[in-house]
Chains A and B, each alone.
Chain A
């Protein structure tokens, strides 16, 4: 492992710490006053600072330091983490995240913003609590406030970086002649109790220059009164060095609190320190360090001898007893396993309990390279395919349905499915990190729009495949922005409408029938249907006299280039509308819906597959080709009757389903599998829901069945094919293409299949 790898680890860790920091701050924001929460928040910043220091990331260190100082005030109850304080802290967490990203990927940060926050943090640490609506320009120091913390800026811990070189440089010897120091070093018992060792200190001292040591043993009591852990010796040292007094003090840095230390510079070199000593000096030989404490070794040996003699005696006694005990021993031997089993069982129970306790404290985890998991998932995909192929060939070759091979195969099938589920679970991750990112986005937009917003998240621990999570952030960000920017009203308008000034955005995740459902609800004004309708008419999306249900009007916002905000703000962006959101959700194999209540807000509901590695599909035949249609796209299947088919235009056909007409799309024709349109009556129609919310009937020749298929990327293995999302391998070993329903529907609108039009699912 080299420094670059460690740096990579550091940034990974930063991400975790930042998530921890944010969730901790949000907990505090919700009124949590658990000291452990505060500690965790403090630790997160502290850790980032520590690592950043090691890599010389100075910007990060200095910001983290200020942040940490303020958090320390909270930790020591000198600063109450009220809403205004937390607002600053949450913003600081954002800046810290920016600085971390900048340190990792290069790029710049908003320096004015971080400087501003440093000021605000320092003000907090100095006891200046900002007023809720006071002008932020002049933070007012609270003069009374009972909990007003004392200014700590000057006494807060400032790391004092020092290097031994500094001392050397500071004390440059002015003369060629080396000064001699007299050092009296008198350790206290505590010195040894804290793991320091006088000999080691003397050894270090000897490295500074020419040294003579005299040990005073005068205080040594008689053996009966000797306490083995007390300090009786002291040393008088004469040291000739050009390193200066500070270097000497540095040697005793760890010990200075637990010893009496006198250092004095001897002007007159002739004077021998030893002669001045009133007691008898004993020369002290440092070489004892090399051959280890001989005395204690001797003691140990003696003990060992004693022990071995004892053992000999015991052995003799045992031998004598042996003969008479043979019978008994034989008997006890049979009992032994039972006796052994009991403690073993209780030990097992204990360790199980211990494990449970450990699990409740923190689930043990390991970190695995994503590549390895991906490889495993691919392999399991192969296994699933292989197992399907094996089953099929056994069914084809073996007429005896009750054979043991069949039973074995069934078990294999079950196991394969279980392995697949378990492996998918490895890559499954809670949506929490994405949700957490959203809270920052809400804060930023709330700031920009001057709205007051509270984000409530639920079901953050709902798990979904990592590949889905990665692609979820972008559409979700956009929707959150929309919800705050367009959905929520300004505080004045809200108050006028009888609502609280603070708007609420609720982000929920839950599992529902094998999919993850994410809901984004705001309590804003809801969709202004008149305005949407008018806009749609202006943009020629609908006819002026079109008769649309409320739901249909609401869904118009998913049309390309649709924006209802009177002026396009820089928040939601120009030209990027809900249509893009819808497309990215659909690219994930998901669907999105909106329901809105005027005056009460809107709810966006997204339903997504739990994984992009497998897909429930309907296997169909089109012009002798086997295709897979994603099950999620299919609303229903039907067998068209001749009377339901209506032609119009040159070669367009409609199918009438329960008194409404739906365009009929011949998949074989669109994909150029055949030159002329097939006869609808001979095939099957799959009613699918398309991008605009409208329905289309896809004509296929026959349905083979429903099956879970493993998605194989076509781009990675071949090249992109318009109208095809991906491929899979079926039980008979043949490759089947997975239909890109939206691209097919788009093509049927008279647009030809162009590569950029089809939304390829990731494989």
Chain B
């Protein structure tokens, strides 16, 4: 069965890249444009893994992760943070919010798939 990935990113460019990369790697991809939409579609998307950006309007990645972790059904889902912000402080904040791991932009398809493989069975 195909693994389902929910991606949350406000950049159309990155969304498209994620879509192409994930689809090519055999994932089923559901996309949201910001944290608010991410939480809205969470139940319906029923993903196996989530990839999210940090800097987003309405609800940023930290808030989104916290929101997911509050959901009983998804509180243990692997969440990868996709961001250019790679310094320790930001990683730490993402981890405190409950992120499983991170992928440092610039976007690299191999890195993305590797990271997803690492956190999913």
Interface residues of A (CB under 8 A from B): 1-3, 5-6, 9-10, 12-13, 39-40, 42-43, 46-47, 49-51, 53-54, 56, 61, 157-164, 192-197, 199-200, 204, 251, 253-254, 257-258, 289, 361
Given A43-B57, A253-B101, is A50 in contact with B14 using a C-beta cutoff of 8 Å? yes
Which residue from chain A places its CB closest to the CB of B74 in the assembled complex? A195
> Among A50, A194, A251, A289, which residue has its beta carbon within 8 angstroms of that of B100?
A194
Chain B, range 79-93, C-beta contacts under 8 Å to A: 79, 84-87, 89-90, 92
CB pair A53–B119 under 8 Å, yes or no, is no
Bound-state CA distance A505–B19 (Å) is: 46
Chain B: residues with Cβ within 8 Å of the partner, total of 42
Given A159-B86, A193-B75, A195-B78, is A40 in contact with B57 using a C-beta cutoff of 8 Å? yes
CB pair B101–A254 under 8 Å, yes or no, is yes
Bound-state CA distance A1–B104 (Å) is: 24
Chain A nearest CB, measured from B46 CB (Å): 15
Bound-state CA distance A164–B69 (Å) is: 30
> Among B17, B57, B85, B102, which residue has its beta carbon within 8 angstroms of that of A54?
B17
CB pair B120–A46 under 8 Å, yes or no, is no
Q: Please, could you name 19 A-B residue pairs with CB atoms under 8 Å apart, sorted by A? A: A1-B16, A9-B12, A39-B57, A42-B55, A47-B13, A50-B14, A50-B107, A53-B105, A53-B106, A157-B85, A161-B106, A164-B114, A193-B76, A195-B76, A195-B100, A196-B119, A254-B100, A254-B101, A361-B58
Bound-state CA distance A50–B54 (Å) is: 12
> Among A40, A51, A157, A196, which residue has its beta carbon within 8 angstroms of that of B14?
A51
Which residue from chain B places its CB closest to the CB of A61 in the assembled complex? B106
Given A6-B20, A54-B107, A195-B79, is A200 in contact with B120 using a C-beta cutoff of 8 Å? yes
For A12, A51, A53, A161, which residue has the most chain B Cβ atoms within 10 angstroms? A51
Chain A nearest CB, measured from B121 CB (Å): 6
Chain A nearest CB, measured from B67 CB (Å): 14
CB pair B55–A51 under 8 Å, yes or no, is no
Which residue from chain B places its CB closest to the CB of A258 in the assembled complex? B95
- B77 is an interface residue with CB less than 8 A from chain A: yes
Chain B nearest CB, measured from A58 CB (Å): 10
Chain B nearest CB, measured from A13 CB (Å): 5
Nearest 4 A/B pairs, CB to CB: A53-B106, A254-B101, A195-B100, A157-B87
CB pair A195–B16 under 8 Å, yes or no, is no
Chain B residue numbers with a CB within 8 Å of A2 are 20
Would you call the interface of chain A mostly helix, strand, loop, or mixed? helix
CB pair B95–A43 under 8 Å, yes or no, is no
Chain B residue numbers with a CB within 8 Å of A49 are 84
- B98 is an interface residue with CB less than 8 A from chain A: yes
Chain B, range 11-30, C-beta contacts under 8 Å to A: 11-14, 16-17, 19-20
Chain A nearest CB, measured from B52 CB (Å): 12
> Among B76, B84, B101, B114, which residue has its beta carbon within 8 angstroms of that of A50?
B84
- B5 is an interface residue with CB less than 8 A from chain A: no
* Apart from A13-B13, A39-B57, A193-B76: 8 A-B pairs, beta carbons within 8 A: A6-B13, A9-B16, A47-B11, A51-B14, A158-B87, A160-B87, A163-B111, A195-B100
CB pair B20–A50 under 8 Å, yes or no, is no
CB pair A50–B120 under 8 Å, yes or no, is no
> Among A9, A195, A254, which residue has its beta carbon within 8 angstroms of that of B98?
A195
CB pair B99–A194 under 8 Å, yes or no, is yes
Chain B residue numbers with a CB within 8 Å of A9 are 12-13, 16
CB pair B119–A200 under 8 Å, yes or no, is yes
For A42, A49, A157, A195, which residue has the most chain B Cβ atoms within 10 angstroms? A195
Chain B residue numbers with a CB within 8 Å of A204 are 118
CB pair A289–B78 under 8 Å, yes or no, is no
Chain B residue numbers with a CB within 8 Å of A42 are 55
Bound-state CA distance A61–B84 (Å) is: 11
Bound-state CA distance A1–B90 (Å) is: 33
Chain B residue numbers with a CB within 8 Å of A199 are 121
Bound-state CA distance A200–B114 (Å) is: 12
Chain A residue numbers with a CB within 8 Å of B85 are 157, 159
> Among A12, A160, A197, A257, which residue has its beta carbon within 8 angstroms of that of B119?
A197
Bound-state CA distance A53–B17 (Å) is: 12
CB pair B86–A157 under 8 Å, yes or no, is yes
Chain B nearest CB, measured from A454 CB (Å): 29
Bound-state CA distance A1–B20 (Å) is: 7
Bound-state CA distance A160–B118 (Å) is: 21
CB pair A195–B119 under 8 Å, yes or no, is yes
Bound-state CA distance A361–B106 (Å) is: 30
Chain A nearest CB, measured from B60 CB (Å): 9
Chain B, range 34-84, C-beta contacts under 8 Å to A: 55-58, 69, 75-79, 84
Chain B residue numbers with a CB within 8 Å of A161 are 104, 106
Bound-state CA distance A254–B118 (Å) is: 9
Given A10-B13, A40-B57, A192-B76, is A197 in contact with B121 using a C-beta cutoff of 8 Å? yes
Bound-state CA distance A200–B99 (Å) is: 16
CB pair B121–A53 under 8 Å, yes or no, is no
Which residue from chain A places its CB closest to the CB of B95 in the assembled complex? A257
